[in-house]
Structures are given as structure tokens and as C-alpha cells.
């Protein structure tokens, strides 16, 4: 995960933010779906690598887009809200653990991967601003 995050963060203000954001969000979702259904070691290793490498590009890409769209006098407040939202990931992990405990680990990966994929595809398809990010 560190390599993907460092790569994305080193780009700074880059072009084609929309497609990169789409790839950074959708690829870990699809990798979670693959992880939920595979029983082959090499496929699982590949999916876990995609999950870690491309999933870590989400945060730098999102922060670049948000900071470019925010007026300078509000950037401190917006950045603190982004930091707070990262802390909410713990709540998601607890919910994920409850679902995995009630069902099984493969079902949790399947549910969350499919849910994430569906939500993001609908969001990307209906919100023109995401498609036109540059």
C-alpha cells in the first residue's frame, strides 16, 4: 500500500484526475470481489496486490481534487474534515467484522465489494463532475 500511495502523492497536481479516481476506487472493489470467490493462491495474491497498490491511490487523488476546488481561506477546515473522515474507517472495519462473524469472511468480501462497486459506478455515471475532472 505504501508504494501506491507514494506514487500518487508524488504526482502532485496531475491531469486526468477523474479516470484515476475511478480506477483508484473501482479496482479495490473488484479485487475484493475476486478475493471473495477465489480459492487459488496466485489469484488471491494478485487481487491482494491490486487491492493494496491501487487502493492506496484513493486518498492522495481525493485530497488533490478537493484542495484544488477549495478556496485558500477554507483549506484548513476542509483538510481537517478529510482527516476526520479517515477516522471513520474504524467504524466500517467494525461493521465489516460483524458481517464476517455472522456470515463468513468470503461473504463479507462479496457484500462489501459488490456494494462498493455498485455505489461508485452509479455515482460516477450520474455525476458529470466526476467524469470531467482534469
65: left (phi over 0), alpha (psi -120 to 50) or beta: alpha
According to the model, what pLDDT value does residue 130 have?
A: 67
According to the model, what pLDDT value does residue 25 have?
A: 78
Q: Which three cell numbers stand for residue 56?
A: 492506496
pTM: 0.64
Number of domains in the chain: 1
pLDDT band at 16 (very low <50, low <70, confident <90, very high): low
- Structural contact between residues 18 and 131, judged by C-beta atoms closer than 8 angstroms: yes
Q: Does residue 12 surpass a pLDDT of 60?
A: no
Q: Could you read off the pLDDT of 34-83 as tens digits, one per residue? A: 888 888 889 888 888 887 777 677 777 777 777 777 888 988 888 888 88
Q: What does residue 55 show for φ and ψ, rounded to 5 degrees?
A: -65, -30
Please give the residue that has the higher pLDDT: either 49 or 134: 49
Instruction: List the domain range (segments joined by +) for residue 37.
Output: 2-131
How far is it, in rounded angstroms, from Cα 107 to Cα 99? 8
Amino acid at each position: 500500500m505504501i508504494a501506491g500511495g507514494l506514487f500518487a502523492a508524488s504526482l502532485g497536481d496531475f491531469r486526468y484526475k477523474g479516470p484515476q479516481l475511478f480506477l483508484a476506487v473501482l479496482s479495490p472493489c473488484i479485487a475484493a470481489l475476486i478475493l471473495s470467490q477465489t480459492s487459488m493462491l496466485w489469484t488471491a495474491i494478485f487481487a491482494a496486490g491490486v487491492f493494496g497498490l491501487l487502493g492506496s491511490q484513493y486518498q492522495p487523488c481525493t485530497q488533490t481534487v478537493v484542495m484544488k476546488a477549495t478556496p485558500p481561506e477554507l483549506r484548513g477546515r476542509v483538510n481537517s474534515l478529510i482527516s476526520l473522515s479517515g477516522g471513520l474507517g474504524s467504524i466500517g472495519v467494525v461493521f465489516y467484522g460483524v458481517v464476517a462473524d455472522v456470515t463468513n469472511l468470503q461473504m463479507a468480501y462479496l457484500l462489501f465489494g459488490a456494494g462498493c462497486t455498485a455505489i461508485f459506478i452509479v455515482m460516477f455515471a450520474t455525476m458529470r463532475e466526476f467524469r470531467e475532472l482534469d
